[in-house]
Amino acid sequence: NAAVRSQSSLSLLNTGQSLIIATAVTLILWRATQGVIDGSMSLGDLVLVNSFMLQLYVPLNFLGVLYREIKQSLADMEKLFSLLEQNKEVADQENAQALQISEQQGAAIRFEAVNFSYESKRQILFDVDFTIPAGSTTAVVGHSGSGKSTLSRLLFRFYDIQSGSIQIQDRDIRSYTQSSLRNANGIDPHETVQYND
């Protein structure tokens, strides 16, 4: 509803601005042409007036574009601030600690009997068990919709699992702060065309 109103007001602004500028240019050129006809202006003066009008038209039109951009940016900022004010679906525990990993030691990641679904009717992960040893590089491959992206979202704690546990350094990731988890993890998502036959 707000988007429709915003678009309507911007369309009205475009039409009004174009009408005002076109009317002004037409009147000034008409007056200059009358001056050439009655001899008070030369043909060179008419060309000069026409050049001035073109030089004025571009900046005046740009003001309208600038206004539209500012109005759109303000609407986007309003949406952003409303998103920032929403409560988090996944919150840190009261006694959550920062995850600290030394470069020499690294940290193993373990999924134990993890079950997860975005919707109650469609479960994505069923009793997932695997370990990623510290310092190793691991690739997760599978068909579209098999849960590859879900694993990374769970590891970053964008969502909480329904059952099981995800552990880093033999501690459940829910005992760490989300910001420290996200700073410590790295994922390299590749486009499917790179691996598709």
Residue 90 counted as domain residue: no
Instruction: Mark 172-185 as b/e (b = at least 16 C-beta within 10 Å).
Output: ebbebebebbeebb
- Domain boundary pick from 51, 85, 119: 85
Characterise 113 by phi-psi region: left (phi > 0), alpha (psi -120 to 50), beta (else).
Answer: left
pLDDT of res. 10: 74
pLDDT of res. 43: 86
Looking at residue 103, the DSSP 8-state letter turns out to be T
Residue 120 counted as domain residue: yes
Residue 195 banded pLDDT, cuts 50, 70, 90 = low
In degrees and rounded to multiples of 5, residue 168 shows phi and psi of: -125, 130
Q: Which domain holds residue 152?
A: 109-194
pLDDT of res. 64: 75
pLDDT of res. 116: 92
Q: What is the CATH number of the domain that holds 186?
A: 3.40.50.300
Residue 173 counted as domain residue: yes
Q: Is the pLDDT of residue 197 over 60?
A: no
Query: Considering only CA atoms, which of 34, 172, 40 is closest in space to residue 97?
Result: 172
Q: Is the pLDDT of residue 123 over 80?
A: yes
Looking at residue 104, the DSSP 8-state letter turns out to be T
pLDDT of res. 156: 87
Residue 128 counted as domain residue: yes
Query: Considering only CA atoms, which of 161, 160, 157, 148 is closest in space to residue 182?
Result: 157
Residue 96 counted as domain residue: no
Question: What's the domain count of the chain?
Answer: 2
Query: Considering only CA atoms, which of 189, 171, 151 is closest in space to residue 108?
Result: 171
Mean residue pLDDT of the chain comes to 83
pLDDT one-digit tens code per residue, 156-177? 888 888 999 999 888 888 888 8
User: Which of the residue ranges 35-44, 108-117, 132-141, 152-161 would you say has the lowest mean pLDDT?
Assistant: 132-141
Instruction: Give yes or no: residues 49 and 115 share one domain.
Output: no
Q: Report the alpha-carbon angle 2-11-27, nearest 5.
A: 150
- Domain boundary pick from 85, 120, 146: 85
Instruction: Give yes or no: residues 61 and 122 share one domain.
Output: no
Q: Is the pLDDT of residue 129 over 80?
A: yes
